[in-house]
Chains A and B, each alone.
Chain A
Amino acid sequence: MSAQLVTEGIVKRFGGLTALDDVSFEIEAGELVGLIGPNGSGKTTFLNVLSGFLRPERGDARFEGRSIAGREPSELAGAGIARSFQVTKIFRRISVLDNLLVPGLTDWSIARQTAAEKGAAILEQLQLSRLTHEAAANLSGGQAKLLEFGRIMMLNPKLVLLDEPFGGVHPTLKRLMHDMIRDWNRRGTSIILISHDMGSIFNLCRRIVALQNGRVIANGRPEVVRKDPAVLQAYLGSCSVEDAP
Protein backbone atom coordinates (compact mmCIF):
# COMPACT_ATOMS: atom_id res chain seq x y z
CA MET A 1 0.00 0.00 0.00
CA SER A 2 1.13 3.57 -0.65
CA ALA A 3 0.67 6.55 1.65
CA GLN A 4 -2.59 8.32 0.78
CA LEU A 5 -2.03 11.24 3.11
CA VAL A 6 1.36 12.56 4.18
CA THR A 7 2.07 15.51 6.44
CA GLU A 8 5.59 16.81 6.92
CA GLY A 9 6.63 19.15 9.69
CA ILE A 10 3.23 20.83 10.15
CA VAL A 11 3.44 23.84 12.47
CA LYS A 12 0.38 25.81 13.55
CA ARG A 13 0.50 28.64 16.06
CA PHE A 14 -2.26 30.69 17.70
CA GLY A 15 -0.51 33.80 19.01
CA GLY A 16 2.12 32.56 21.42
CA LEU A 17 0.67 29.05 21.58
CA THR A 18 2.11 26.39 19.32
CA ALA A 19 -0.83 24.06 18.69
CA LEU A 20 0.99 21.81 16.23
CA ASP A 21 4.73 21.49 16.46
CA ASP A 22 6.43 19.71 13.58
CA VAL A 23 3.76 17.05 13.07
CA SER A 24 4.73 14.46 10.49
CA PHE A 25 2.27 11.69 9.82
CA GLU A 26 1.22 9.23 7.15
CA ILE A 27 -1.89 7.21 6.50
CA GLU A 28 -2.13 4.52 3.88
CA ALA A 29 -5.22 4.04 1.73
CA GLY A 30 -7.76 1.95 3.65
CA GLU A 31 -6.19 2.48 7.10
CA LEU A 32 -8.20 3.25 10.23
CA VAL A 33 -6.06 5.33 12.56
CA GLY A 34 -6.95 6.59 16.03
CA LEU A 35 -5.71 10.01 17.09
CA ILE A 36 -5.53 10.39 20.85
CA GLY A 37 -4.17 12.87 23.34
CA PRO A 38 -5.23 14.95 26.31
CA ASN A 39 -7.37 18.07 25.85
CA GLY A 40 -5.39 20.80 24.10
CA SER A 41 -2.92 18.38 22.56
CA GLY A 42 -3.71 19.57 19.02
CA LYS A 43 -5.94 16.78 17.69
CA THR A 44 -8.77 18.98 16.39
CA THR A 45 -6.29 21.58 15.12
CA PHE A 46 -4.64 18.83 13.09
CA LEU A 47 -8.01 17.82 11.60
CA ASN A 48 -8.73 21.47 10.84
CA VAL A 49 -5.46 21.70 8.91
CA LEU A 50 -6.18 18.49 7.00
CA SER A 51 -9.70 19.66 6.08
CA GLY A 52 -8.67 23.16 4.97
CA PHE A 53 -10.12 25.17 7.88
CA LEU A 54 -6.66 26.21 9.09
CA ARG A 55 -3.58 27.09 7.09
CA PRO A 56 -0.35 25.85 8.69
CA GLU A 57 2.52 28.28 9.23
CA ARG A 58 5.04 25.68 8.13
CA GLY A 59 5.12 22.23 6.67
CA ASP A 60 3.14 20.53 3.95
CA ALA A 61 0.30 18.08 3.68
CA ARG A 62 -0.23 15.98 0.54
CA PHE A 63 -3.28 13.92 -0.29
CA GLU A 64 -2.83 11.40 -3.10
CA GLY A 65 0.37 13.19 -4.06
CA ARG A 66 -1.14 16.70 -4.28
CA SER A 67 -0.46 19.44 -1.76
CA ILE A 68 -3.55 20.32 0.27
CA ALA A 69 -2.13 22.83 2.75
CA GLY A 70 -4.10 26.06 2.46
CA ARG A 71 -6.72 24.76 0.01
CA GLU A 72 -10.38 25.61 0.63
CA PRO A 73 -12.48 23.10 2.64
CA SER A 74 -14.99 22.79 -0.22
CA GLU A 75 -12.17 21.91 -2.63
CA LEU A 76 -10.90 19.23 -0.27
CA ALA A 77 -14.41 17.82 0.12
CA GLY A 78 -14.53 17.55 -3.66
CA ALA A 79 -11.13 15.84 -3.65
CA GLY A 80 -12.47 13.17 -1.28
CA ILE A 81 -11.75 14.39 2.26
CA ALA A 82 -14.87 14.54 4.45
CA ARG A 83 -15.14 15.36 8.12
CA SER A 84 -17.43 15.54 11.13
CA PHE A 85 -17.23 18.16 13.87
CA GLN A 86 -16.68 17.88 17.60
CA VAL A 87 -19.80 19.98 18.19
CA THR A 88 -22.39 18.66 15.75
CA LYS A 89 -23.07 21.05 12.87
CA ILE A 90 -26.30 19.92 11.26
CA PHE A 91 -28.48 22.34 9.27
CA ARG A 92 -31.20 22.70 11.88
CA ARG A 93 -33.87 24.58 9.93
CA ILE A 94 -34.00 22.31 6.91
CA SER A 95 -35.28 18.74 6.74
CA VAL A 96 -33.25 15.64 7.51
CA LEU A 97 -33.33 14.63 3.81
CA ASP A 98 -32.29 18.11 2.69
CA ASN A 99 -29.29 17.87 5.04
CA LEU A 100 -28.18 14.94 2.89
CA LEU A 101 -29.06 16.64 -0.39
CA VAL A 102 -26.66 19.54 0.28
CA PRO A 103 -23.52 17.39 -0.16
CA GLY A 104 -25.32 15.21 -2.71
CA LEU A 105 -25.98 18.15 -5.01
CA THR A 106 -22.54 19.78 -4.89
CA ASP A 107 -21.68 17.50 -7.82
CA TRP A 108 -23.59 19.19 -10.65
CA SER A 109 -23.63 16.03 -12.74
CA ILE A 110 -25.91 14.34 -10.19
CA ALA A 111 -29.66 14.89 -10.69
CA ARG A 112 -31.79 15.83 -7.69
CA GLN A 113 -33.84 12.63 -8.02
CA THR A 114 -30.70 10.48 -7.95
CA ALA A 115 -29.38 12.33 -4.89
CA ALA A 116 -32.77 11.98 -3.15
CA GLU A 117 -32.82 8.23 -3.78
CA LYS A 118 -29.31 7.86 -2.42
CA GLY A 119 -30.26 10.01 0.59
CA ALA A 120 -33.32 7.85 1.29
CA ALA A 121 -31.19 4.68 1.18
CA ILE A 122 -28.68 6.22 3.61
CA LEU A 123 -31.45 7.28 6.00
CA GLU A 124 -32.73 3.72 5.91
CA GLN A 125 -29.27 2.46 6.84
CA LEU A 126 -29.04 5.03 9.64
CA GLN A 127 -32.50 4.03 10.89
CA LEU A 128 -33.69 7.63 10.41
CA SER A 129 -36.22 7.00 7.61
CA ARG A 130 -39.23 7.93 9.73
CA LEU A 131 -37.64 11.39 10.26
CA THR A 132 -36.94 12.04 6.56
CA HIS A 133 -39.08 15.20 6.30
CA GLU A 134 -38.67 16.32 9.91
CA ALA A 135 -36.72 19.53 10.58
CA ALA A 136 -33.23 18.50 11.68
CA ALA A 137 -33.64 20.71 14.77
CA ASN A 138 -36.01 18.06 16.15
CA LEU A 139 -33.37 15.31 16.20
CA SER A 140 -31.79 14.08 19.42
CA GLY A 141 -28.05 14.58 19.97
CA GLY A 142 -27.29 11.01 18.91
CA GLN A 143 -29.50 11.21 15.82
CA ALA A 144 -27.76 14.46 14.86
CA LYS A 145 -24.40 12.63 15.03
CA LEU A 146 -25.84 9.92 12.77
CA LEU A 147 -27.07 12.58 10.35
CA GLU A 148 -23.51 13.94 10.16
CA PHE A 149 -22.41 10.42 9.26
CA GLY A 150 -25.08 10.31 6.58
CA ARG A 151 -23.90 13.59 5.05
CA ILE A 152 -20.37 12.19 4.91
CA MET A 153 -21.67 9.07 3.15
CA MET A 154 -23.30 11.24 0.48
CA LEU A 155 -19.83 12.46 -0.53
CA ASN A 156 -18.38 8.97 -1.15
CA PRO A 157 -15.15 10.14 0.49
CA LYS A 158 -11.75 8.50 0.24
CA LEU A 159 -10.64 9.82 3.63
CA VAL A 160 -12.94 10.53 6.59
CA LEU A 161 -11.90 12.65 9.56
CA LEU A 162 -14.09 11.98 12.60
CA ASP A 163 -13.81 14.38 15.55
CA GLU A 164 -15.29 12.92 18.75
CA PRO A 165 -18.22 11.16 17.06
CA PHE A 166 -19.22 9.22 20.18
CA GLY A 167 -19.56 12.13 22.64
CA GLY A 168 -22.91 11.91 24.45
CA VAL A 169 -24.17 9.08 22.24
CA HIS A 170 -26.36 6.26 23.59
CA PRO A 171 -24.58 2.82 23.57
CA THR A 172 -27.05 1.42 21.02
CA LEU A 173 -26.36 4.26 18.60
CA LYS A 174 -22.65 3.96 19.34
CA ARG A 175 -22.71 0.32 18.24
CA LEU A 176 -24.43 1.37 15.02
CA MET A 177 -21.75 4.01 14.46
CA HIS A 178 -19.00 1.43 15.10
CA ASP A 179 -20.58 -0.84 12.49
CA MET A 180 -20.73 1.99 9.99
CA ILE A 181 -17.10 2.98 10.56
CA ARG A 182 -16.03 -0.64 10.06
CA ASP A 183 -18.21 -0.85 6.95
CA TRP A 184 -16.67 2.29 5.41
CA ASN A 185 -13.23 0.98 6.20
CA ARG A 186 -13.99 -2.46 4.68
CA ARG A 187 -14.97 -0.68 1.49
CA GLY A 188 -11.53 0.96 1.36
CA THR A 189 -12.20 4.36 2.97
CA SER A 190 -9.34 5.63 5.13
CA ILE A 191 -10.39 7.02 8.51
CA ILE A 192 -8.75 9.18 11.14
CA LEU A 193 -10.74 8.91 14.36
CA ILE A 194 -10.37 11.31 17.28
CA SER A 195 -12.03 10.14 20.47
CA HIS A 196 -11.66 10.25 24.20
CA ASP A 197 -13.63 6.99 24.25
CA MET A 198 -10.63 4.67 24.54
CA GLY A 199 -12.84 1.58 24.32
CA SER A 200 -13.95 2.65 20.84
CA ILE A 201 -10.44 3.67 19.79
CA PHE A 202 -8.89 0.34 20.79
CA ASN A 203 -11.85 -1.60 19.45
CA LEU A 204 -11.79 0.01 16.00
CA CYS A 205 -8.28 1.18 15.16
CA ARG A 206 -5.35 -0.83 13.95
CA ARG A 207 -2.91 2.01 14.53
CA ILE A 208 -2.89 4.82 17.05
CA VAL A 209 -1.10 8.15 17.00
CA ALA A 210 -0.78 10.04 20.27
CA LEU A 211 -0.29 13.79 20.46
CA GLN A 212 0.79 15.93 23.38
CA ASN A 213 1.40 19.66 23.27
CA GLY A 214 1.17 19.55 19.48
CA ARG A 215 3.87 16.87 19.05
CA VAL A 216 3.55 13.22 18.09
CA ILE A 217 4.64 11.23 21.14
CA ALA A 218 3.68 7.74 19.98
CA ASN A 219 2.68 6.08 16.73
CA GLY A 220 2.07 2.36 16.42
CA ARG A 221 -0.13 -0.63 17.03
CA PRO A 222 -2.71 -0.26 19.86
CA GLU A 223 -1.06 -2.83 22.14
CA VAL A 224 2.23 -0.95 21.86
CA VAL A 225 0.83 2.56 22.26
CA ARG A 226 -1.25 1.66 25.31
CA LYS A 227 1.96 0.71 27.17
CA ASP A 228 4.09 3.57 25.87
CA PRO A 229 5.54 5.44 28.88
CA ALA A 230 5.17 8.82 27.14
CA VAL A 231 1.48 8.16 26.48
CA LEU A 232 0.90 7.01 30.05
CA GLN A 233 2.66 10.13 31.27
CA ALA A 234 0.48 12.33 29.04
CA TYR A 235 -2.64 10.92 30.66
CA LEU A 236 -1.42 11.93 34.12
CA GLY A 237 -2.15 9.47 36.85
CA SER A 238 -3.69 6.88 34.61
CA CYS A 239 -2.61 3.29 35.10
CA SER A 240 -3.45 2.58 31.47
CA VAL A 241 -4.67 4.54 28.48
CA GLU A 242 -8.07 2.80 28.67
CA ASP A 243 -8.66 4.52 32.02
CA ALA A 244 -7.88 7.95 30.66
CA PRO A 245 -10.71 10.51 30.64
Chain B
Amino acid sequence: MTGHAVSPRAVLGAGVVTGFAALPLFGLDEYWIYILTIGFYYAILASSWSLLVGYVGRISFAHVAMSGIGAYTSVLASGSFGWPLYFSIPLAGLVTGLAGLAIGRLCLRLHGAYLGLTTIAFSEIVRITITAEYELTRGSLGLAAVGLFETTDRLPYYYSFLAILLVCLLIMWLILRSRIGMFFAAIREDEDAAASLGVKVVRWKIFAFTFSSVIAGIAGGFYAHFVQLVAPSMMSIQEMGLVLSMAVVGGFQNIFYAALGGILLEVLLEAMREIGEWRMTAFALAVILILRYAPNGLFGELVRTLSTRKAPA
Protein backbone atom coordinates (compact mmCIF):
# COMPACT_ATOMS: atom_id res chain seq x y z
CA MET B 1 0.00 0.00 0.00
CA THR B 2 1.49 3.35 -0.93
CA GLY B 3 0.82 6.36 1.23
CA HIS B 4 -0.33 8.41 -1.76
CA ALA B 5 -3.61 6.70 -2.70
CA VAL B 6 -6.12 9.21 -4.03
CA SER B 7 -9.35 9.13 -2.05
CA PRO B 8 -12.59 8.27 -3.88
CA ARG B 9 -14.05 11.58 -2.67
CA ALA B 10 -11.20 13.51 -4.31
CA VAL B 11 -11.80 11.61 -7.57
CA LEU B 12 -15.53 12.34 -7.31
CA GLY B 13 -14.83 16.03 -6.62
CA ALA B 14 -12.44 16.31 -9.57
CA GLY B 15 -15.06 14.61 -11.74
CA VAL B 16 -17.77 17.09 -10.70
CA VAL B 17 -15.51 20.10 -11.33
CA THR B 18 -14.43 18.74 -14.71
CA GLY B 19 -18.07 18.08 -15.55
CA PHE B 20 -19.09 21.67 -14.81
CA ALA B 21 -16.06 23.00 -16.70
CA ALA B 22 -16.91 20.83 -19.73
CA LEU B 23 -20.70 21.43 -19.80
CA PRO B 24 -20.60 24.54 -22.06
CA LEU B 25 -18.39 22.64 -24.51
CA PHE B 26 -21.22 20.15 -25.03
CA GLY B 27 -23.68 22.71 -26.32
CA LEU B 28 -25.27 23.89 -23.08
CA ASP B 29 -27.50 26.77 -24.16
CA GLU B 30 -27.05 30.34 -22.95
CA TYR B 31 -30.11 30.22 -20.70
CA TRP B 32 -28.79 27.26 -18.67
CA ILE B 33 -25.31 28.77 -18.58
CA TYR B 34 -26.94 31.81 -16.95
CA ILE B 35 -28.87 29.62 -14.48
CA LEU B 36 -25.79 27.61 -13.52
CA THR B 37 -23.82 30.82 -12.99
CA ILE B 38 -26.45 31.93 -10.49
CA GLY B 39 -26.25 28.39 -9.06
CA PHE B 40 -22.53 28.93 -8.42
CA TYR B 41 -23.37 32.15 -6.54
CA TYR B 42 -25.87 30.29 -4.36
CA ALA B 43 -23.32 27.50 -3.89
CA ILE B 44 -20.92 30.03 -2.33
CA LEU B 45 -23.68 31.30 -0.02
CA ALA B 46 -24.89 27.82 0.97
CA SER B 47 -21.37 26.50 1.65
CA SER B 48 -20.25 29.53 3.67
CA TRP B 49 -23.53 29.38 5.66
CA SER B 50 -22.93 25.69 6.30
CA LEU B 51 -19.45 26.48 7.62
CA LEU B 52 -21.07 28.50 10.39
CA VAL B 53 -24.03 26.23 11.07
CA GLY B 54 -22.66 22.77 10.31
CA TYR B 55 -19.12 23.15 11.63
CA VAL B 56 -19.41 25.71 14.45
CA GLY B 57 -23.01 24.95 15.37
CA ARG B 58 -24.18 28.57 15.30
CA ILE B 59 -27.29 29.59 13.39
CA SER B 60 -27.47 32.78 11.37
CA PHE B 61 -30.30 34.19 9.28
CA ALA B 62 -28.24 37.22 8.30
CA HIS B 63 -26.25 35.55 5.52
CA VAL B 64 -28.14 37.00 2.57
CA ALA B 65 -28.06 40.39 4.32
CA MET B 66 -24.26 40.09 4.31
CA SER B 67 -24.36 39.24 0.62
CA GLY B 68 -26.60 42.28 0.07
CA ILE B 69 -24.24 44.55 2.02
CA GLY B 70 -21.40 43.31 -0.19
CA ALA B 71 -23.44 43.85 -3.35
CA TYR B 72 -24.48 47.41 -2.43
CA THR B 73 -20.96 48.29 -1.27
CA SER B 74 -19.39 47.25 -4.56
CA VAL B 75 -22.13 48.83 -6.70
CA LEU B 76 -21.99 52.14 -4.81
CA ALA B 77 -18.19 52.20 -4.79
CA SER B 78 -17.98 51.47 -8.50
CA GLY B 79 -21.05 53.45 -9.60
CA SER B 80 -21.18 56.52 -7.34
CA PHE B 81 -17.47 56.85 -6.63
CA GLY B 82 -16.12 55.39 -9.86
CA TRP B 83 -13.83 52.85 -8.20
CA PRO B 84 -12.59 50.00 -10.38
CA LEU B 85 -14.11 46.59 -9.61
CA TYR B 86 -10.80 45.19 -8.40
CA PHE B 87 -11.10 47.69 -5.53
CA SER B 88 -14.86 47.72 -5.04
CA ILE B 89 -15.29 43.94 -4.70
CA PRO B 90 -12.53 43.52 -2.07
CA LEU B 91 -14.10 46.53 -0.34
CA ALA B 92 -17.37 44.57 -0.31
CA GLY B 93 -15.55 41.79 1.54
CA LEU B 94 -14.01 44.27 3.97
CA VAL B 95 -17.30 46.02 4.78
CA THR B 96 -19.20 42.75 5.29
CA GLY B 97 -16.30 41.49 7.39
CA LEU B 98 -16.64 44.54 9.64
CA ALA B 99 -20.43 44.06 9.79
CA GLY B 100 -19.90 40.38 10.64
CA LEU B 101 -17.36 41.30 13.32
CA ALA B 102 -19.75 43.81 14.87
CA ILE B 103 -22.70 41.41 14.87
CA GLY B 104 -20.47 38.59 16.03
CA ARG B 105 -19.18 40.56 19.00
CA LEU B 106 -22.68 41.71 19.81
CA CYS B 107 -24.55 38.43 19.72
CA LEU B 108 -22.35 35.35 19.55
CA ARG B 109 -22.50 35.00 23.33
CA LEU B 110 -26.19 34.30 22.73
CA HIS B 111 -27.41 30.78 22.08
CA GLY B 112 -30.05 29.03 19.98
CA ALA B 113 -33.25 30.93 19.41
CA TYR B 114 -31.84 34.19 20.82
CA LEU B 115 -28.99 34.19 18.31
CA GLY B 116 -31.34 33.23 15.46
CA LEU B 117 -33.81 36.00 16.31
CA THR B 118 -31.05 38.58 16.64
CA THR B 119 -29.67 37.76 13.18
CA ILE B 120 -33.20 37.98 11.69
CA ALA B 121 -33.60 41.39 13.31
CA PHE B 122 -30.24 42.54 11.91
CA SER B 123 -31.12 41.23 8.46
CA GLU B 124 -34.45 43.06 8.44
CA ILE B 125 -32.89 46.29 9.72
CA VAL B 126 -30.43 46.23 6.80
CA ARG B 127 -33.12 45.40 4.22
CA ILE B 128 -35.63 47.98 5.48
CA THR B 129 -32.99 50.70 5.82
CA ILE B 130 -31.86 50.19 2.22
CA THR B 131 -35.47 50.14 1.07
CA ALA B 132 -36.41 53.30 3.01
CA GLU B 133 -33.30 55.23 2.01
CA TYR B 134 -33.70 56.61 -1.53
CA GLU B 135 -30.99 59.19 -2.22
CA LEU B 136 -28.16 56.71 -2.18
CA THR B 137 -29.81 53.35 -2.83
CA ARG B 138 -32.93 54.30 -4.86
CA GLY B 139 -34.99 52.24 -2.39
CA SER B 140 -36.89 49.25 -3.71
CA LEU B 141 -36.07 50.21 -7.31
CA GLY B 142 -32.51 49.10 -6.76
CA LEU B 143 -29.29 50.23 -8.38
CA ALA B 144 -27.89 49.41 -11.79
CA ALA B 145 -24.38 47.98 -11.75
CA VAL B 146 -21.63 47.83 -14.31
CA GLY B 147 -20.81 44.37 -15.63
CA LEU B 148 -17.72 42.39 -14.70
CA PHE B 149 -16.91 42.12 -18.41
CA GLU B 150 -17.66 44.36 -21.36
CA THR B 151 -19.05 41.45 -23.37
CA THR B 152 -22.67 40.31 -23.14
CA ASP B 153 -21.49 36.70 -23.59
CA ARG B 154 -22.47 34.57 -20.56
CA LEU B 155 -19.51 32.22 -20.79
CA PRO B 156 -16.84 34.44 -19.13
CA TYR B 157 -19.24 34.90 -16.20
CA TYR B 158 -19.87 31.15 -16.01
CA TYR B 159 -16.18 30.29 -15.75
CA SER B 160 -15.43 33.23 -13.44
CA PHE B 161 -18.14 32.20 -10.96
CA LEU B 162 -17.02 28.56 -11.15
CA ALA B 163 -13.46 29.69 -10.35
CA ILE B 164 -14.64 31.96 -7.51
CA LEU B 165 -16.68 29.09 -6.06
CA LEU B 166 -13.66 26.76 -6.21
CA VAL B 167 -11.37 29.34 -4.59
CA CYS B 168 -13.92 29.96 -1.78
CA LEU B 169 -14.32 26.21 -1.21
CA LEU B 170 -10.56 25.72 -1.19
CA ILE B 171 -10.02 28.48 1.40
CA MET B 172 -12.85 27.14 3.59
CA TRP B 173 -11.51 23.59 3.26
CA LEU B 174 -7.98 24.67 4.24
CA ILE B 175 -9.34 26.42 7.32
CA LEU B 176 -11.53 23.49 8.28
CA ARG B 177 -8.70 20.95 8.03
CA SER B 178 -6.37 23.16 10.08
CA ARG B 179 -6.42 23.31 13.88
CA ILE B 180 -9.06 26.04 13.58
CA GLY B 181 -11.43 23.44 12.13
CA MET B 182 -10.73 21.28 15.17
CA PHE B 183 -11.62 24.18 17.45
CA PHE B 184 -14.84 24.74 15.47
CA ALA B 185 -15.82 21.08 16.01
CA ALA B 186 -15.06 21.31 19.73
CA ILE B 187 -17.19 24.46 20.05
CA ARG B 188 -20.04 22.81 18.14
CA GLU B 189 -19.90 19.73 20.37
CA ASP B 190 -19.57 21.40 23.77
CA GLU B 191 -18.55 25.00 24.40
CA ASP B 192 -17.79 24.54 28.09
CA ALA B 193 -15.56 21.53 27.48
CA ALA B 194 -13.80 23.37 24.66
CA ALA B 195 -13.18 26.41 26.88
CA SER B 196 -11.90 24.21 29.72
CA LEU B 197 -9.33 22.77 27.31
CA GLY B 198 -7.97 26.15 26.28
CA VAL B 199 -10.07 26.87 23.18
CA LYS B 200 -10.87 30.59 22.97
CA VAL B 201 -14.54 29.98 22.25
CA VAL B 202 -15.76 33.55 21.73
CA ARG B 203 -12.77 34.45 19.53
CA TRP B 204 -13.30 31.50 17.18
CA LYS B 205 -17.06 31.97 16.99
CA ILE B 206 -16.54 35.60 16.02
CA PHE B 207 -13.89 34.56 13.51
CA ALA B 208 -16.28 32.02 11.94
CA PHE B 209 -19.09 34.60 11.73
CA THR B 210 -16.78 37.26 10.28
CA PHE B 211 -15.16 34.88 7.80
CA SER B 212 -18.45 33.48 6.51
CA SER B 213 -19.72 37.07 6.21
CA VAL B 214 -16.68 38.06 4.13
CA ILE B 215 -17.30 35.13 1.77
CA ALA B 216 -20.99 36.11 1.47
CA GLY B 217 -20.05 39.76 0.89
CA ILE B 218 -17.58 38.96 -1.87
CA ALA B 219 -20.12 36.59 -3.47
CA GLY B 220 -22.69 39.41 -3.31
CA GLY B 221 -20.21 41.83 -4.89
CA PHE B 222 -19.54 39.54 -7.85
CA TYR B 223 -23.24 38.67 -8.18
CA ALA B 224 -24.22 42.36 -8.43
CA HIS B 225 -21.84 42.85 -11.35
CA PHE B 226 -23.19 39.72 -13.03
CA VAL B 227 -26.92 40.48 -12.89
CA GLN B 228 -26.04 44.20 -13.07
CA LEU B 229 -28.73 45.18 -10.62
CA VAL B 230 -28.98 45.18 -6.84
CA ALA B 231 -32.27 45.47 -4.98
CA PRO B 232 -33.35 44.96 -1.36
CA SER B 233 -35.25 41.82 -2.39
CA MET B 234 -31.93 39.92 -2.49
CA MET B 235 -31.89 40.27 1.32
CA SER B 236 -35.42 39.03 2.00
CA ILE B 237 -36.29 36.32 4.52
CA GLN B 238 -37.55 34.25 1.58
CA GLU B 239 -34.11 34.47 -0.04
CA MET B 240 -32.51 33.38 3.25
CA GLY B 241 -34.95 30.46 3.36
CA LEU B 242 -33.82 29.47 -0.11
CA VAL B 243 -30.13 29.47 0.88
CA LEU B 244 -30.99 27.48 4.01
CA SER B 245 -32.92 24.96 1.89
CA MET B 246 -29.97 24.60 -0.46
CA ALA B 247 -27.55 23.87 2.38
CA VAL B 248 -29.91 21.45 4.12
CA VAL B 249 -30.91 19.60 0.96
CA GLY B 250 -27.27 19.25 -0.14
CA GLY B 251 -25.96 18.50 3.36
CA PHE B 252 -25.08 21.39 5.68
CA GLN B 253 -22.48 19.41 7.62
CA ASN B 254 -20.18 19.47 4.62
CA ILE B 255 -19.31 22.60 2.63
CA PHE B 256 -19.01 20.66 -0.64
CA TYR B 257 -22.41 18.98 -0.27
CA ALA B 258 -23.98 22.33 0.66
CA ALA B 259 -22.43 23.88 -2.47
CA LEU B 260 -23.86 21.10 -4.64
CA GLY B 261 -27.22 21.69 -2.93
CA GLY B 262 -27.01 25.34 -4.02
CA ILE B 263 -26.48 24.40 -7.66
CA LEU B 264 -29.10 21.63 -7.58
CA LEU B 265 -31.86 23.76 -6.10
CA GLU B 266 -31.18 26.68 -8.41
CA VAL B 267 -31.47 24.33 -11.39
CA LEU B 268 -34.65 22.79 -9.95
CA LEU B 269 -36.02 26.25 -9.24
CA GLU B 270 -35.83 27.01 -12.95
CA ALA B 271 -36.89 23.55 -14.12
CA MET B 272 -40.02 23.80 -11.93
CA ARG B 273 -40.85 27.38 -12.95
CA GLU B 274 -44.21 26.21 -14.36
CA ILE B 275 -45.56 25.48 -10.89
CA GLY B 276 -44.76 29.00 -9.67
CA GLU B 277 -44.53 29.60 -5.92
CA TRP B 278 -45.42 25.97 -5.22
CA ARG B 279 -41.72 25.33 -5.83
CA MET B 280 -40.94 26.97 -2.51
CA THR B 281 -43.51 24.79 -0.78
CA ALA B 282 -41.88 21.74 -2.35
CA PHE B 283 -38.43 22.88 -1.19
CA ALA B 284 -39.69 23.56 2.33
CA LEU B 285 -41.23 20.09 2.42
CA ALA B 286 -37.94 18.62 1.15
CA VAL B 287 -36.08 20.42 3.97
CA ILE B 288 -38.42 18.95 6.61
CA LEU B 289 -38.15 15.43 5.19
CA ILE B 290 -34.37 15.61 4.77
CA LEU B 291 -33.82 16.95 8.29
CA ARG B 292 -35.97 14.08 9.59
CA TYR B 293 -34.76 11.18 7.43
CA ALA B 294 -31.40 12.21 5.93
CA PRO B 295 -29.70 14.75 8.21
CA ASN B 296 -26.50 14.50 6.12
CA GLY B 297 -28.44 15.84 3.14
CA LEU B 298 -28.92 14.23 -0.26
CA PHE B 299 -25.23 14.24 -1.17
CA GLY B 300 -24.16 13.13 2.30
CA GLU B 301 -26.55 10.19 2.09
CA LEU B 302 -25.45 9.41 -1.45
CA VAL B 303 -21.76 9.27 -0.50
CA ARG B 304 -22.58 7.27 2.64
CA THR B 305 -24.57 4.75 0.62
CA LEU B 306 -21.82 4.42 -2.00
CA SER B 307 -19.16 4.01 0.71
CA THR B 308 -21.23 1.32 2.45
CA ARG B 309 -21.69 -0.62 -0.79
CA LYS B 310 -17.99 -0.49 -1.60
CA ALA B 311 -16.91 -1.60 1.88
CA PRO B 312 -15.90 -5.28 2.05
CA ALA B 313 -18.37 -7.61 3.72
| Chain A interface residues (CB < 8 Å from chain B) | 51-53, 72-74, 77-78, 82-83, 85, 89-94, 98, 101-103, 105-108, 112, 151, 154-155
Contacts and interface: CB of A to CB of B under 8 A. Distances in A.
Interface string B162-205: 00000000000000000100110110111011111111110000
A106 B189 contact: no
B193 A74 contact: no
A80 B186 CA distance: 20
Given A74-B195, A74-B199, A106-B198, A112 B179 contact: yes
**Which of B182, B188, B200 has the most C-beta atoms of chain A within 10 angstroms of its own C-beta?**
B182
Interface of B: 179, 182-183, 185-186, 188-190, 192-201
B195 A72 contact: yes
Contacts of B186: 91, 94, 102
Given A77-B195, A102-B194, 6 more contacts: A74-B195, A89-B192, A91-B185, A98-B185, A102-B186, A106-B199
A122 to B, nearest CB: 14
A24 to B, nearest CB: 24
A155 B197 CA distance: 7
A78 B183 CA distance: 15
13 contacts: A51-B196, A72-B200, A73-B196, A74-B196, A74-B198, A77-B195, A78-B198, A82-B197, A89-B190, A91-B189, A93-B188, A102-B186, A102-B194
Contact of A106 (B188, B192, B197): B197
A82 B196 CA distance: 7
Secondary structure of the B contact surface, majority rule: helix
Secondary structure of the A contact surface, majority rule: loop
A74 B201 contact: yes
Nearest to B185: A94
B185 A93 contact: yes
A92 B195 contact: no
Contact of B197 (A53, A92, A103): A103
B35 to A, nearest CB: 36
A141 B194 CA distance: 19
**Which of A78, A85, A89 has the most C-beta atoms of chain B within 10 angstroms of its own C-beta?**
A89
Contacts of A74: 195-201
A44 to B, nearest CB: 12
Nearest to A108: B179
Given A102-B183, A105-B182, A94 B189 contact: yes
B68 to A, nearest CB: 33
Contacts of B183: 102, 105-106
A90 B179 CA distance: 18
Nearest to A90: B193
B193 A85 contact: yes
Nearest to A79: B198
A53 B185 contact: no
A91 B199 contact: no
B253 to A, nearest CB: 9
A91 B201 contact: no
A85 B192 contact: yes
A13 B199 CA distance: 27
B198 A101 contact: no
Contacts of B194: 91, 102
Contacts of A94: 182, 185-186, 189
A103 B198 contact: yes
Contacts of B185: 91, 93-94, 98, 102
